[in-house]
Copies of this chain bind each other. A is one copy, B any other.
């Protein structure tokens, strides 16, 4: 099975992929999120893993836009507790480090640590683990990567500082994506991600949420997005959990009359290992 990930082996996306699919997978490494839809559409991979939100940085809105634009299907989710470690060549210590090269999300999640070390220059790179690999390959002194313990082991680097993320309980949610929905009935499905656009009327969102509540469906996430170029129009991304598939389908049928647009981005089994 071929799985596209953002980043290289040793990245958090690889850890998420292994948690979901186990070890017998063939990873296709991507340097940007935008390569992922194309690989799926061209059948070059079976699935892809994409980070979608983080407890510190919030939702990664551009990734929601990619899923929506390319009509990808969300087939599952993984929650990972993210531990960021500062690492460099063996023998290097914090005073030796002049620059840190890392992914902007990783830098953002370690903001407080770097505020206390203002002399370290922060340089944006495309992948956390790729920097770790490069430091080792090219024997780069004075530069540190922010990456996982598995990257430190894989690339034989020294962990200079442990757990430098601002909030110790830093959880990232990843989606497992497929090219398109299949309509197989999977009795294990109990979570859904939807996008909808409400009518321009006071109370239109309340009506939609009321239908879900009456069908014993709970929200686990809601996020409004202003629709660019359409003043006072809002799209909503929501995640729902349900136990009864019939009630869920009835609710979905009923809300279609209440909104101007609704799209199921995916129906999948909820990940209960949330930390």
Residues of B near A121 (CB, < 8 A) are 123
**Interface size counted on chain A using CB atoms at 8 A:** 49
**In angstroms, how far is the closest chain B Cβ from the Cβ of A186?**
23
Complex CA gap A203/B241 in Å reads 12
> Assembly of this chain: how many copies?
2
Known interface pairs A107-B104, A124-B122; A219-B213 also in contact (CB < 8 Å): no
The reply to whether A209 and B205 contact each other, CB–CB distance below 8 Å, is yes
B228 touches A219 (CB 8 A): no
The residue from B57, B124, B214, B218 contacting A123, defined by CB atoms under 8 A apart? B124
Distance (whole angstroms) from the CB of A221 to the closest CB of chain B: 5
A262 adjacent to chain B (CB < 8 Å): no
Contact call B104/A274, Cβ cutoff below 8 A: no
Nearest Cβ on chain B to A71's Cβ, whole angstroms: 20
Stretch of A22-30, A58-66, A145-153, A154-162 lying at the B interface: A58-66
Choose from B108, B205, B214 the contact partner of A219 (Cβ within 8 Å).
B205
Q: Does A141 contact B (CB under 8 A)?
A: no
Chain B's closest residue to A31 (CB) is: B118
Instruction: Scan residues 212-248 of chain A and give those whose CB is less than 8 A from a CB of chain B.
Output: 212-214, 216-226, 228-229, 231-232, 234, 236
**CB-CB < 8 A to A203: which residues of B?**
209-210, 212-214
- Across the interface, do A202 and B213 meet the contact criterion of CB distance under 8 Å? yes
User: Is A39 part of the binding interface, using a Cβ–Cβ cutoff of 8 Å?
Assistant: no
Pull 5 A–B residue pairs with CB atoms less than 8 Å apart, ordered by A. Answer: A202-B218, A219-B234, A220-B234, A221-B234, A223-B223
6 nearest A-B residue pairs (beta carbon): A203-B213, A206-B209, A122-B124, A58-B61, A206-B213, A206-B210
B-contacting residues of A (Cβ < 8 Å)? 32, 34, 55-59, 61-62, 104, 107-108, 111, 115, 121-124, 167, 169, 171, 202-203, 205-207, 209-210, 212-214, 216-226, 228-229, 231-232, 234, 236, 274
